[in-house]
Structure 1
Amino acid sequence: MRAQASHRRLLGLLRKEWLQVLRDPSSIAIAFVLPVGLLLLFGYGVSLDARNLRIGLVIEQPSAEASDLVSGFRQSVYFEPRFFDSRQAARSALAQHAIDGFIVLPADFARRLQAADEVPAQAIVNGVDANSARLLSAYVQGVWSTWLQRELATRSSGPSEPVAAETRIWFNPELRSRNYLVPGLLVVNMTLVGALLTALVMAREWERGTLEALLVTPVTLREILLGKLLPYFALGMGGMALSVLMALTLFQVPLRGSFWVLVACSMLFLLAALGMGLLISIVTRNQFVAGMIALVTTFLPAFLLSGFLFDINSMPVVVQAITHLIAARYFVAILQTLFLAGDVWSLILPNAAALAIMAILFLGLSRRLLRKRLE
């Protein structure tokens, strides 16, 4: 009889919370509309790939060899060649950011190439943006190496080199940054629903004074917490399903791991995010403060310190240590493994265990602090 009454109370709380969600369009927007917008923005508008790099070409003396090398830059999808009459003109264009770098083929380019006693060309790159400079240098080196091998092969019947290097790229052979960005963006979407929305739940009840009305009823703390968490858990998993569907169909991101492992790990991360959001809400009792704290402690770290955009191994040691406190770090590692590599259990299990520990910790603290405040 008591279990049946508890069941009815829980259903009543769930119905009340669902009505609140439906009456507040912002909850639906954060759960479904905002993830779609972020996916479209990052999937189509943001790219870590360098394409159409503006490269200047200075040919001091036209020759067959120089024309052949220039054709390599013209045919490459990475370059947008622009021609200059002199080094000074190219240097001026580089200073004005009209080009990203330039290559000088001197008047004796063909002779020095035949002599092979020194490098017959010069490449100058704008190093203001270090990442773009490295990519530009690597692409120039790639075009040069490909052309040089072809040039040497035409001069003799034998192989141009005793050993030919053959490059093979694992896990993301197309080198599409979209395959790397979209799985990480799923973490950001779930953080929005899990932490940001739930951070406002209990704070809203405190501000409106409706929590006191609940306390005079036979409703238990466990039923209150479940009534608050389950609707947003359903919203979070619904938003996750929509995001995964878009990743697979719209952006053609491969899912090489198990779909059910993805679902299980998503549940663990969502529970951790819900627990953290609920904990913030219980402690602050103010919607504005709770929202600001949730943004600073969950949303921004999910962007900056999770490995979604920036490599954690490149961060200072102190910052690397801080990232171990962020649940998004573990979920990003899981998603990138499942989407691009497959079921690599040596990576999935430790990160899933960390998410489970965080979920238990945050939900346990939420239950404990709610009880203390009410007593």
Structure 2
Amino acid sequence: MSLQRLRALIHKEFLQILRDPSAIAIAFLMPMFLLFLFGYGVSLDARHVPVAVVVDHPTPQTSAFVGGLQESPYFRPQRYDSIQRAQHALLDRQVSAILWLRGDFSRQVLQGNTASIGVLVNGVDANDARIVEGYLQGVWQNWLQQTAADAGKPLLVPVRVESRIWFNPALRSRDYLVPGLIAVIMTLTGALLTALVVAREWERGSMEALMASPVTMAEILLGKLIPYFLLGMGGMLLSVALAVWLFAVPLVGSFWVLLLCSSLFLLAALGMGLLISSVARNQFVAGQIAIIVTFLPAFILSGFIFDIQSMPAPIQFITHIVAARYFVSILQTIFLAGDVWPIVLWNSLALLLMAMFFLGITLLRSRKRLD
């Protein structure tokens, strides 16, 4: 290998990057767009949920309960004078749930009996339905505690739950969506950049000129790999900066550990892109393959949004060949929990093996031949 030829290839590639605005857009503008889209537009938090409140016989007890509901940031209560009208509002999707305090509610409370409330939840979106149900139970429990405290009596329950929320005490979905999104961005950036750029050279005929030159295939691959590695790491640093400073996602772990793990993952993503470019020599075909083979699995099967443990066993097995699965686990651990070495080391080892596999297969498949 000639270092002089390698430097010349790297210089050529940087000149091509500067002359081609699409590479800059994929590396820097697309991460910003996706971060703004998911950071501000996508949220799994249930806040200000419209809830219909039906009170058959208003009393101080029902007023206190509804007042607690109004003070909650999770609900936006709307009063209805009958359960029939509330049900029509639920069918029309004007409200997401119904809270029904029946006529004997206050009498049961004053007599010390078990008072029940009626809750009807729209279960079309099962995830939101479970969240709303849990929040309503929390409001109910808080009201019971406050009522017992006002009466000077202890709340007699067989078990008292003292919950502690680790790593994400604010329960903000943004705090784990944004770190996971960095893995999706780097997957798309690394694979799409290299796949499109090499395919473009085949279309324009410049690859034939490289084949006719004294450069080796290893030099050609390194000349492609190094510039886009630096470009991808620049996009990663921009994404981390936006996550920490714009979206206020905590970075508990070490930045240098994050940088090293990101380098391993980017090498794997670039290896996938180079492998795609060795199969498809057309930009359109290369772009479609890169999206189907890298972006969609990273989005769906990496644990970025959908919990892997909730997937069927065969799908969980398939996720082990998705590089983004390991990087998402590293990102969410470093950002929210810190340097948990058993998780970081094992997932980093998986990324290293995948990077060696894809780069090795690409080198074996690459020959200075035009067929």
Mean Cα displacement is larger for which, 152-161 or 295-304?
152-161
Counterpart among 277, 299, 303 of residue 307 in structure 1: 303
Identify the residue that residue 363 of structure 1 maps to in structure 2.
359
Aligned residues: 371
CA distance in 2, matches of 1:158, 1:80: 30
The answer to whether the Cα contact below 8 Å between 1:149 and 1:160 also exists between their aligned partners in 2 is: no
CA distance in 2, matches of 1:336, 1:223: 36
Identify the residue that residue 123 of structure 1 maps to in structure 2.
119
Identify the residue that residue 184 of structure 2 maps to in structure 1.
188
CA distance in 1, matches of 2:342, 2:368: 40
The answer to whether the Cα contact below 8 Å between 1:206 and 1:285 also exists between their aligned partners in 2 is: yes
Identify the residue that residue 264 of structure 1 maps to in structure 2.
260
Q: What are the equivalent positions in structure 2 for 1:153-164 lying under 5 Å apart?
A: 153-158=149-154, 160-161=156-157, 164=160
Aligned residue for 2:98, secondary structure, equals strand
Cα 1:228–1:158 change in 2 (3 A) is: closer
Identify the residue that residue 241 of structure 1 maps to in structure 2.
237
Aligned residue for 2:52, secondary structure, equals strand
Shift of residue 48 of structure 1? 0.6
Identify the residue that residue 322 of structure 1 maps to in structure 2.
318
CA distance in 1, matches of 2:11, 2:295: 28
Shift of residue 50 of structure 1? 0.5
Deviations, residues 281-320 of structure 1 (Å, cap 9, x unaligned): 0111221111100000101111111000110111111111
Give the TM-score, by structure 1 length: 0.96
Deviations, residues 325-350 of structure 1 (Å, cap 9, x unaligned): 10000000000000001111111111
- 1:353 pairs with 2:349: yes
Identify the residue that residue 145 of structure 1 maps to in structure 2.
141
CA distance in 2, matches of 1:320, 1:217: 47
Shift of residue 115 of structure 1? 3.7
Identify the residue that residue 197 of structure 1 maps to in structure 2.
193
Deviations, residues 2-22 of structure 1 (Å, cap 9, x unaligned): x7xx22211111111111111
CA distance in 2, matches of 1:306, 1:119: 45
Identify the residue that residue 45 of structure 1 maps to in structure 2.
41
Shift of residue 216 of structure 1? 1.9
Shift of residue 37 of structure 1? 1.2
Q: What are the equivalent positions in structure 2 for 1:109-120 lying under 5 Å apart?
A: 109-120=105-116
CA distance in 1, matches of 2:154, 2:76: 34
Mean Cα displacement is larger for which, 241-250 or 62-71?
241-250
CA distance in 1, matches of 2:101, 2:189: 56
The answer to whether the Cα contact below 8 Å between 2:101 and 2:118 also exists between their aligned partners in 1 is: yes
AA aligned opposite 2:85: A
Aligned residue for 2:106, secondary structure, equals helix
Shift of residue 273 of structure 1? 0.2
Identify the residue that residue 5 of structure 2 maps to in structure 1.
9
Identify the residue that residue 79 of structure 2 maps to in structure 1.
83
Aligned residue for 1:324, secondary structure, equals helix
Identify the residue that residue 102 of structure 1 maps to in structure 2.
98
Give the TM-score, by structure 2 length: 0.97
Identify the residue that residue 70 of structure 2 maps to in structure 1.
74
Counterpart among 262, 267, 278 of residue 282 in structure 1: 278
CA distance in 2, matches of 1:159, 1:118: 12
Identify the residue that residue 27 of structure 1 maps to in structure 2.
23
Aligned residue for 2:167, secondary structure, equals coil
Identify the residue that residue 291 of structure 2 maps to in structure 1.
295
The answer to whether the Cα contact below 8 Å between 1:53 and 1:79 also exists between their aligned partners in 2 is: yes
Aligned residue for 2:367, secondary structure, equals helix
Unaligned runs of 5+ in 1: none
Aligned residue for 2:321, secondary structure, equals coil
Unaligned runs of 5+ in 2: none
The answer to whether the Cα contact below 8 Å between 1:31 and 1:192 also exists between their aligned partners in 2 is: no
Mean Cα displacement is larger for which, 272-281 or 189-198?
189-198
Identify the residue that residue 54 of structure 1 maps to in structure 2.
50
How big is the alpha-carbon RMSD for the aligned residues of Structure 1 and Structure 2?
1.5
Deviations, residues 116-137 of structure 1 (Å, cap 9, x unaligned): 5444211111111101100110
Identity %: 59
The answer to whether the Cα contact below 8 Å between 1:193 and 1:232 also exists between their aligned partners in 2 is: no
Deviations, residues 199-249 of structure 1 (Å, cap 9, x unaligned): 113222222222221122111111101111111101100000111111111
Counterpart among 226, 229, 235 of residue 230 in structure 1: 226
